[in-house]
Amino acid sequence: MTDTMRALVIDRTGDADELHVADVDRPTRIGDEVVVRVIAAGVNPIDVKTRAGRGTSAAIAGFPVVLGNDFAGIVEQVPYAAHPLHVGDRVYGAARPPRTPGSFAEFATVSSMSLAPMPSSLGFVEAAALPIAALTAWGAIVDVARVHDGQRVLVHAGAGGVGHLAVQLAAYFGAHVTATCGPDNVEFVRGLGAEHVIDYRAERFEEVAGEQDVVIDLIGNVKDDTGTRSLDVIRRGGLVVNVPTGSWPTMADEAAARGIRATGYSCSPDARTLAVLTRLVDDGALRVHVDRELPLADGAEAHRLVEGGHVRGKVVLRVAPDPE
């Protein structure tokens, strides 16, 4: 085993072309950490924002830096012999860049509390698309909104990485789900369990959605004041959960002025919640959609796709071939 690994890195923050493949030092395992041989790595908006100098870029201690949160792969090293995870296990989870090197690399060192056995029904590419998006959707729908039977829930960007999972989870827990998306995704989102799908190019959602108990806002005010307009459809005492960081700075004040509860949300990679999501996937209650699979060397193109904001589901980087 060599001391270096192939990774997708940046030498400075900037546009997608800053991403390039290089040989870097392999991360060192300490404490409760597990070393994972990465087979596939999902690309998330937080990766794109951090690469561009926003997101978590303030925590970058030096360059080159390896980004990437989501991964699926094979356990290479465990903390101790009797650990619940074993060498050779197929796992998925989330790294913590830039505190530690991320998943856009041949190996990642991750806290054992941030990964879990992969769903048996998924391959590595699909599994790598799940962790951050599914944990975010679960956190917003279950932990924060506590969605239950009979509630009316509106999910913005219902075809996106988090959105297509949030729609399914809200429907699973008995909500009447309305979702917004572009015209090419209407049937896709309807197939996820949304009872009412609004083509945002053809209709103003606030004119047709009706009163909602909860809005899961995956856009904010960065486009067409979607966040502020969402307040027009939420009942007094209802809740808006805004996910994209920095997308709606005035949310708290605007919502309070209308008697609406409001909160942001950031996911916490957690093995216990991943285990619950695994059961939902293997039971057929939750499915993940991979829009594009690209090789690690095409990381810049993957970032451009996510940055464009019109991905159906997720974009995933193939880091290594499936093991035989």
What confidence tens digit (pLDDT) does each residue in 236-278 have? Answer: 999 999 999 899 999 999 999 999 999 999 998 999 999 999 9
Distance CA 209, CA 188 (A): 19
In a domain, 271, yes or no: no
Tell me, what amino acid is at 196?
Answer: H
In a domain, 243, yes or no: yes
What confidence tens digit (pLDDT) does each residue in 287-300 have? Answer: 999 999 999 999 99
What confidence tens digit (pLDDT) does each residue in 197-211 have? Answer: 999 999 999 999 999
Domain that holds residue 86: 4-130+288-318
Count of structural domains within the chain: 2
Task: Note whether 146 and 308 are within 8 A (CB).
Answer: no
Could you give the angle at which helices 271-282 and 131-138 cross, rounded to 10 degrees? 100
pTM here is 0.96
In a domain, 86, yes or no: yes
Coil vs helix vs strand at 254: helix
Distance CA 214, CA 254 (A): 16
> CA of 126: how far to CAs of 18, 39, 131, 293, in Å?
26, 11, 10, 9
Please say if the pLDDT value at position 2 is more than 90: no
In a domain, 274, yes or no: no
Question: Nearest CA to 118 among 134, 130, 105?
Answer: 130
- Does residue 116 sit in the same domain as residue 146? no
pLDDT value of residue 1: 61
What confidence tens digit (pLDDT) does each residue in 101-151 have? Answer: 999 999 999 999 999 999 999 999 999 999 999 999 999 999 999 999 999
User: Could you give the percent of the chain with pLDDT greater than 90?
Assistant: 97
Q: Place 303 in a pLDDT band, splitting at 50, 70 and 90.
A: very high
The mean pLDDT value for 214-220 works out to 98
- Does residue 122 sit in the same domain as residue 141? no
The mean pLDDT value for 16-44 works out to 97
Distance CA 231, CA 211 (A): 10
Per DSSP bridges, beta strands 70-77 and 90-94 are antiparallel
- Does residue 119 sit in the same domain as residue 8? yes
Token pair 């070393």 is at which residue? Answer: 35
The mean pLDDT value for 35-46 works out to 97
pLDDT value of residue 268: 87
Question: Nearest CA to 277 among 162, 176, 193?
Answer: 162
